[in-house]
Amino acid sequence: MSDTPSRRPWGVQRRLEFIEFRLYWEGQINRGDISDVFGVSTPQASTDLSAYKELASENLTYDARLKVYLATKEFKPKLIEPDANSYLSQLHAALRESPSETWLSYIPDIDLMPIPFRKMNPIILRKLLTAIKDKRSLEILYHSMNNQRPEPIRRSISPHALASDGLRWHIRAFCHIDHKFKDFIVSRCRDCELTGASVAEAQDDWQWQEFVDVELIPNPKLSPAQQKTIALDYEMDGGKRIMNIRKALFYYFEKRLRFDISKDVDQPKEKPVIIKNHDRVSKAVHRQAISTLPKEACE
């Protein structure tokens, strides 16, 4: 890839990147592909292809029989940095939404494991976002899993951020009842109304503001060959990978990637990656915070 910043108009640059994307991932492109995706005229699509040929003539050759440009064996990207996860994300979007929302023309036979996403009320979500943006407090009707509170209760919160663990969304907010920052699952907010100004600042939430380095390594109970495979899978450098994680999200990181399962698991294949510095990270995440907020502000 070229490190020289582009001086082309943004629309032209995007179309040239699209040409390179199609050549790299699908091996071919024609004028109609450009016109279909960007809604430009055929002459403009021809101009774009000519511009790309001028930039990287060694990357494509014209097949008069098929009437398409084909990627050459010498193809080397100049405008994009091919990324497997980015491509697979487009496949995901093509299956879940619409192929027209992606840069793909070829969709292989694929399927996705169904995930029961939680239902969220868009009106409630809009109010939550407004409260975050305008630094407001909210009164919510919240249904928790607390056995001592089996029915939804009204509680006041001051939200400052939105987060996801990959399966569910929650808001990070100061709870006026418990006098501390907590996570509130959006789908469990049955009702909410904007009230006064927020009683807490985002910078007061140390678990949200601070990060911790989590050191991942292959499970040492695996064979050397298996450990090498895991290291390659997770792009480990020197047998480890450092993940910089927001302290408020470490709990979900453990749960989602199954780092929280028992250390006594007999089958290391069930836990191929472990957190080497788990004790230090846990202490850093769960240290007692000293609140700087007056209790009367939260009543």
Do strands 180-185 and 169-175 pair parallel, antiparallel, or not at all (unpaired)? antiparallel
Place of tokens 């907020």: 293
**Which residues have CB under 8 Å from 48's CB, separation 6+?**
12, 15, 16, 19, 34, 40
Least confident window among 42-56, 122-136, 163-177, 280-294: 280-294
- CATH code linked to domain 10-82: 1.10.10
- CATH code linked to domain 122-203: 2.30.30
Place of tokens 């450990």: 227
How far, in Å, are 40, 67, 89, 100, 265 from residue 37 at the CA level?
8, 18, 18, 7, 51
Sketch the domain layout of the chain as residue ranges. 10-82, 122-203, 210-286
pLDDT digits (tens, 9 = 90+) for 87-114: 999 998 888 777 777 899 888 898 888 8
3-state secondary structure of 138: strand
How far, in Å, are 48, 54, 69, 71, 211 from residue 58 at the CA level?
16, 9, 12, 9, 45
pLDDT digits (tens, 9 = 90+) for 202-222: 999 999 999 999 999 999 999
pLDDT digits (tens, 9 = 90+) for 125-181: 999 999 999 999 999 999 988 777 778 899 999 999 999 998 899 999 999 999 999
185: confidence class by pLDDT, cuts 50, 70, 90: very high
